């Protein structure tokens, strides 16, 4: 019972919340959609953080502090979470104190009082999934927007959020002592087939300048988890066929940029929101490996009609790596 809150927290920007919630609708591809207006000059910027929810420990609070400073400097429009939002086993109810202790009380900077578009990670599936998806959380802190899979339309960029945990065989075949909440996922094959079809249709329908896909699990990574074979076989061909620009993930507790030699997709890992895995790195083709950092941090993304810009920061806000494209790579540096 110590994980349950005694009382709800205060509402945050209730009018803004209502606008965001009512903007969701069902697309022709069956994926819910949110509209995120760009700035008046047509640009959009946001932060990306993953694998963070540890009640401020493992430098989560330090990363949050720097996110606030960077968010203010960039005037970000929103934040993306790549999953594993609450350790070790998600949350048990919408009133679980983890939500307040790991989210509301940590990301307090004024620049971070924007929508948080989130996906579920494997650790989130070990808790009550319906609690994280519950509109009650949006009422408690209306920044929180979490669905299994959905699309954020922002005119010059479309961002496609994909529920990747159900793809991974070992969570079903070898769960060990973990209990996963598969409500809404079973029968699994039907769920995955429908999801892949919906993502494919949504990508085909997109007329945005830039296409970004967000999932928790890696497709390409030199980190601890490496390649997620199921995604490489099932999801990657769809991303390649639809000329996706970025695939952004968490899962590996590092910051990473891999540039595919087989397509134009850039694979970005932002899983350094709290506990990092120092020294846990595998060999990777140096032609593809653009950047790897085995510590805490986050990334920012800036889009305009002319360019897409990605910057990685460590837990002290220092720039580690940046990459800019205008359809073709312009430069990548440290």
> What stretches of the chain show up as alpha helix (H) in DSSP?
14-22, 60-74, 97-99, 129-133, 135-140, 170-173, 188-205, 229-234, 236-241
What strand order describes the sheet that includes 246-249? 25-26, 32-35, 150-153, 157-162, 210-215, 246-249, 266-270, 255-259, 289-293
d(CA 170, CA 252): 17
Q: Which residues of 89-127 are buried (b: 16+ CB within 10 A; e: fewer)?
A: bbbebbbbbbbbbbbbebbebebbbbbbbbbbbbbbbbb
Q: Is 253 annotated as a binding residue?
A: yes
Q: Which residues contact 193 (CB under 8 A, 6 or more apart)?
A: none
Choose among 276, 224, 222, 220: nearest CA to 253: 276
Q: Is 251 annotated as a binding residue?
A: yes
Token pair 């929180």: residue: 144
Q: Is 96 annotated as a binding residue?
A: no
Q: Is 123 annotated as a binding residue?
A: no
Q: Is 178 annotated as a binding residue?
A: no
Cα distances (Å, whole numbers) of residue 133 to 14, 21, 43, 72:
19, 13, 29, 28
Cα distances (Å, whole numbers) of residue 73 to 69, 115, 203:
6, 17, 32
3 state DSSP class of 334: coil
Contact yes or no for 259/266 (Cβ under 8 A): yes
225 is catalytic: yes
Q: Which residues contact 210 (CB under 8 A, 6 or more apart)?
A: 156, 157, 158, 245, 246, 303, 308
3 state DSSP class of 136: helix
d(CA 300, CA 45): 7
Q: Which of 123, 217, 225, 321 is catalytic?
A: 225
Q: Is 216 annotated as a binding residue?
A: yes
Instruction: Find how far residue 222's CA is from the centre of its chain.
Output: 19
Q: Is 122 annotated as a binding residue?
A: yes
Instruction: Find how far residue 205's CA is from the centre of its chain.
Output: 22
Q: List, as residue ranges, the binding site for Fe cation.
A: 51, 84, 87, 122, 216, 251, 253
Q: List, as residue ranges, the binding site.
A: 51, 84, 87, 122, 216, 251, 253
Catalytic residues: 225
């Amino acid at each position: 019972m110590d994980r349950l809150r005694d009382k709800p927290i205060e509402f945050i920007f209730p009018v803004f919340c209502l606008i965001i919630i009512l903007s969701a609708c069902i697309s022709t591809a069956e994926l819910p959609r949110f509209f995120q207006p760009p700035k008046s000059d047509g640009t959009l910027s946001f932060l990306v953080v993953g694998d963070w929810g540890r009640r401020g420990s493992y430098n989560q609070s330090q990363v949050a502090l720097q996110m606030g400073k960077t968010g203010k400097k960039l005037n970000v429009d929103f934040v993306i979470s790549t999953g594993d939002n609450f350790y070790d086993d998600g949350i048990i109810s919408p009133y679980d104190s983890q939500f307040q202790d790991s989210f509301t009380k940590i990301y307090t900077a004024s620049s971070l009082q924007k929508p948080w578009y989130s996906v579920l990670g494997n650790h989130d599936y070990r808790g009550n999934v319906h609690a994280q998806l519950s509109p009650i959380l949006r009422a408690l802190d209306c920044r929180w927007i979490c669905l299994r899979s959905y699309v954020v339309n922002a005119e010059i960029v479309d961002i496609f959020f994909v529920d990747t945990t159900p793809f991974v065989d070992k969570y079903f075949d070898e769960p060990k002592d973990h209990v996963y909440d598969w409500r809404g996922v079973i029968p699994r094959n039907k769920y995955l087939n429908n999801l892949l079809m919906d993502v494919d249709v949504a990508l085909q329908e997109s007329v945005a300048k830039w296409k970004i896909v967000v999932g928790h699990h890696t497709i390409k990574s030199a980190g601890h988890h490496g390649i997620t074979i199921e995604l490489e076989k099932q999801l990657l061909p769809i991303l390649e066929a639809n000329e996706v620009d970025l695939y952004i993930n968490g899962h590996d507790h590092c910051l990473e940029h891999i540039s595919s030699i087989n397509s134009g997709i850039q694979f970005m890992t932002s899983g350094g929101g709290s506990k990092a895995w120092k020294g846990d790195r595998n060999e990777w083709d140096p032609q593809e490996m653009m950047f790897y950092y085995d510590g805490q941090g986050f990334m920012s993304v800036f889009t305009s009609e002319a360019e897409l810009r990605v910057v990685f920061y460590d837990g002290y806000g220092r720039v580690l790596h940046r990459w800019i494209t205008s359809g073709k790579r312009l430069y990548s540096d440290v």
